[in-house]
Amino acid sequence: MDLSFLAIQALNGLSSASSLFITACGLTLVFGVTRIVNFAHGSLYMIGAYTAATLVPRLLELHFGPVTFWAGILASAIIVGLIGVLIEVLLLRRIYGAPELFQLLATFGVVLVVQDLAILVFGPEDILGPRAPGLRAPVEILGRRFPSYELVLIAAGPIVLGLVWLLLRKTRFGVLVRAATQDREMIAALGVNQALLFTGTLFLGAFLAGLGGALQIPRVSAHAGMDLSIIAEAFVVTVVGGMGSVPGAFLAALIIGQLQAFGILIFPKSTLVVVFLLMAVVLAIRPYGFFGRPEAVGGTHAVGIASSKRSPYAGLIALAVIGTGLSLPLIGDAYMLKVATEILIFALFAFSLQLLIGVSGVVSFGHAAFFGLGAYGAALSLKWFALPMEAALPAGLLLAAAGALLIGGFVVRLSGIYLAMMTLAAAQIIYAVAFQWVDVTGGDNGIVGVWPSAWASGQVPFYLFTLALVTIAVLLLMRIINAPFGYALRAARDSEARAEAIGLTIRRHRWLAFTISGAAAGLAGGLYAFSRGSVDPSLLGIPTSVDALTMLLIGGIQTVTGPLVGAGFLHVLRDQIMPLTSLWRLLLGLIIIAIVLVFPRGLVGTVRGWGEERS
């Protein structure tokens, strides 16, 4: 490799870094002030690209020269900024005080809504934007051609950094933003118009996202997958740089840009994993990123399971539920049993997450990792070692437990949003491995032919088998939640200081909880693999994690039975509505947002609240 090639490759990395920084900068600013990790930031980026790709060609037709191109880019960014304001006023404003989990899910709801809306507004086809006038021709650098537009992009990053720096240092708005980033309580004490500050920050954040997207149009066609692909990288940049730190984001973007430019030369087939591996390594060494500060974590008792009086009928009702479950094969057809089987499996999956979120206060955003590991563990032992289902299921469970043990070791050292991001990174790494280690995992085709043993292959026997395993697992988990171990987890969630002062080893307890939860999710994953006969990487993806969280949220995270009901509700809803509409994501997103805003206690919690009011 000669020098000129290395230089060009470094320039390529710089231009990616610039684009990434402009977008991530908005994300980190918004987080600094509002403490919300805005999943929808990627959606704003996408809207920016779509808007510019639609708007700029119309402007160029007016023939006012090259300036119209840049005016169009700026106008698109402003439009996106206004959309950000809309999101702030309609949604974020109502959830600033809510637990992180709710904030993450609500903004993910926005992602889903925007995905469908973008297709409705801009159409399903990719939109190719125009090239920048005057910047079509390449420039010669060290005897190689390099696009001149990329040079503009390389300059754009530092320019945006400089302007943001000026804004933060030299204006009153900037002073307030910095104050809020350092100490969220202080802003309230200063008697500042908080609403205006937050709205302004959202405008700035969304503007930067829109600008990041709009600047891409001479390189990329605007398309519907842009949101999730940028948000994953933007998360990595903000987390690695330290949440809320603009210079941190810049440094992280530079590193990631170079890592990607040179990474493809060394690992051309492992591109997905490199970025998340970087994030995991940084978090393992510096738990708050380059320039981040630990968040003061308060008690989060409000969002978890609390002690309640035991209903005298509890045992009876549990028996009745199990009885109904047992008699289902007598009344339902094969398809209903299939749906019921899947509901049971997802109920266990969501319930395993409840042990982490509702009981331990550990907000895992990558629980799909263990569901998927369980499924892959079962499928791989079936494929490579020809184990029967009876042995493959425990193998899946063990693989998931081992994965949770390993990941948990890193995760329990973190807290709050960094913890959520670490779990996300871990899940993405496993996803990338499953996706790209084709020889073993079958890549994105996955592994097929994962069917149950002969005795369980009918719909009825497999349903009953699932019912038995899920019932046992859920009862065991309930037992654990009510045992001293579960109480110790709740204690550490309610007050870490108090828990330490009475001698509880919080990390060890959480580690064990993480492992148990992973194992239970692994069992669910294994059952799911056999229920549908195949596994593939989508089981490990972010949508699967979000599914589990949504089930938890719908059911209510303050109740033990919430996840079971949530799983049933979401699955039936999906089953009934998805075939009827292509706007399923829009609907699901609205449901998530509505629950966060209107029924934060979930179905079970709300119903129980009515009961308490009456009595």
Partner 1 sequence: MTLLSVQGLSKSFGGVAAARDVSFLLERGELLAIIGPNGAGKSTVFNMVGGQLRPDHGAVLLDGQNITAASPQKRFRLGVGRTFQVAQTFLSMSVVENVQMALVSCNGESSALWAPARTRHREEALALLEQVGMADVADRPCSALAYGDVKRVELAIALAGQPKLLLMDEPTAGMAARERADLMDLTARIADAKSIGVLFTEHDMDVVFGHAERVIVLVRGRIIAAGSPEEIRQNEEVRRAYLGDEHALEKPKGLSPA
Partner 2 sequence: MTKASMTRWLALGLALAFAAPSAQAQQAPIKLGELNSYARWAAFTVPYRSGWQMALDEINAKGGVLGRKLEIVSRDDGATTGDATRVADELVNREGVSLLFGSFQSNVGVAMADYANQKKILYIAAEPLTDAITMAQGNRYTFRIRPSNFMQVGMLVDQAKASGAKRWAIVAPNYEYGQSAAEVFKRLIKERVPGAEIVAEQYPALGKIEAGATVSALEQAKPDGIFNVLFGPDLTQFVREGNTRGLFEDATVLSLLTGEPEWLLPLKDEVPEGWTVTGYPWDEIKEPKHKAFVDAYRAKFNETPRLGSLLGYMVVYMIRDAIELAGSVETEAMIKALEDTKFDTVIGPVTMRGIDNQATMGAWVGKLVLKGANGGMTDWSYMDGTPFMPTEAEVKAVRKD
Q: Which of residues 329-348 bind partner 2 (CB under 8 A)?
A: 332-336, 338-340, 342-343
- Residue among 296, 309, 502, 503 that touches partner 2 (CB under 8 A): 309
Our finding on whether 412 is near partner 1 (CB under 8 A) is no
Our finding on whether 268 is near partner 2 (CB under 8 A) is yes
- Determine the Cα–Cα distance for residues 133 and 149; give it in Å rounded to an integer: 10
Our finding on whether 604 is near partner 1 (CB under 8 A) is no
Contacts to partner 1 from residues 458-497, by CB under 8 A? 479-480, 482-488, 490-491, 493-495, 497
Whichever of 232 and 243 has its CB closer to partner 2, that residue is 232
Interface with partner 1 (CB under 8 A), residue total 32
- 553: partner contacted, choices partner 1, partner 2, none (Cβ within 5-8 A by kind): none
Contacts to partner 2 from residues 429-448, by CB under 8 A? 435-436, 438, 443-446, 448
Using the contact rule CB under 8 A, the part of the chain among 181-189, 203-211, 311-319, 465-473 near partner 2 is 311-319
- Residue among 585, 595, 596, 600 that touches partner 2 (CB under 8 A): 585
Whichever of 300 and 471 has its CB closer to partner 1, that residue is 300
The residue type found at 61 is E
CB of 598 to partner 1, least distance (A): 23
At 9, list the tokens: 């490759």
- Determine the Cα–Cα distance for residues 30 and 204; give it in Å rounded to an integer: 8
Our finding on whether 229 is near partner 2 (CB under 8 A) is yes
- Determine the Cα–Cα distance for residues 41 and 110; give it in Å rounded to an integer: 10
Using the contact rule CB under 8 A, the part of the chain among 23-31, 157-165, 166-174, 261-269 near partner 2 is 261-269
Which residue is listed with tokens 């009827």?
580
Contacts of 468 (CB under 8 A, 6+ apart): none
Our finding on whether 386 is near partner 1 (CB under 8 A) is no
Q: Identify any residues that bridge with 448 across adjacent strands, giving them in sequence order.
A: 534
Contacts to partner 2 from residues 494-533, by CB under 8 A? 528, 532-533
- Determine the Cα–Cα distance for residues 113 and 103; give it in Å rounded to an integer: 15
User: Helix, strand or coil for residue 574?
Assistant: helix
Our finding on whether 609 is near partner 1 (CB under 8 A) is no
- 438: partner contacted, choices partner 1, partner 2, none (Cβ within 5-8 A by kind): partner 2
User: Helix, strand or coil for residue 601?
Assistant: coil
Interface with partner 2 (CB under 8 A), residue total 100
Our finding on whether 266 is near partner 1 (CB under 8 A) is no
Our finding on whether 142 is near partner 2 (CB under 8 A) is no
CB of 574 to partner 2, least distance (A): 8
At 290, list the tokens: 């380059």
Which residue is listed with tokens 């990790």?
37
Using the contact rule CB under 8 A, the part of the chain among 119-127, 377-385, 388-396, 420-428 near partner 2 is 119-127
Whichever of 362 and 375 has its CB closer to partner 1, that residue is 362
Our finding on whether 260 is near partner 2 (CB under 8 A) is yes
Contacts of 480 (CB under 8 A, 6+ apart): 355, 486, 516
Residue 33's nearest CA partner among 196, 159, 170, 165 is 196
Our finding on whether 148 is near partner 1 (CB under 8 A) is no
Contacts to partner 1 from residues 299-318, by CB under 8 A? 299, 301, 304-307
CB of 370 to partner 1, least distance (A): 19
Q: In the 8-state DSSP scheme, what is residue 142?
A: T
The total number of residues written for the chain in this structure: 615
Q: Determine if residue 229 is left, alpha or beta; phi over 0 gives left, psi from -120 to 50 gives alpha, anything else beta.
A: alpha
Whichever of 272 and 478 has its CB closer to partner 1, that residue is 478
> How many alpha carbons fall within 13 Å on the CB side of residue 400?
36
Quickly count: other Cβ atoms within 10 Å of residue 1's Cβ. Answer: 7
Our finding on whether 604 is near partner 2 (CB under 8 A) is yes
Whichever of 380 and 473 has its CB closer to partner 1, that residue is 473
Whichever of 329 and 486 has its CB closer to partner 1, that residue is 486
Residue 400's nearest CA partner among 378, 383, 420, 425 is 378
Our finding on whether 155 is near partner 2 (CB under 8 A) is no
- Determine the Cα–Cα distance for residues 583 and 481; give it in Å rounded to an integer: 39
Our finding on whether 482 is near partner 2 (CB under 8 A) is no
Counting other chains too, the contacts that 267-272 makes at CB distance below 8 Å and 24 or more residues apart are 269/436, 270/432, 270/436, 272/428, 272/431, 272/432, 272/435, 272/436
Whichever of 205 and 568 has its CB closer to partner 2, that residue is 568
Pairing of strands 447-448, 138-141: unpaired
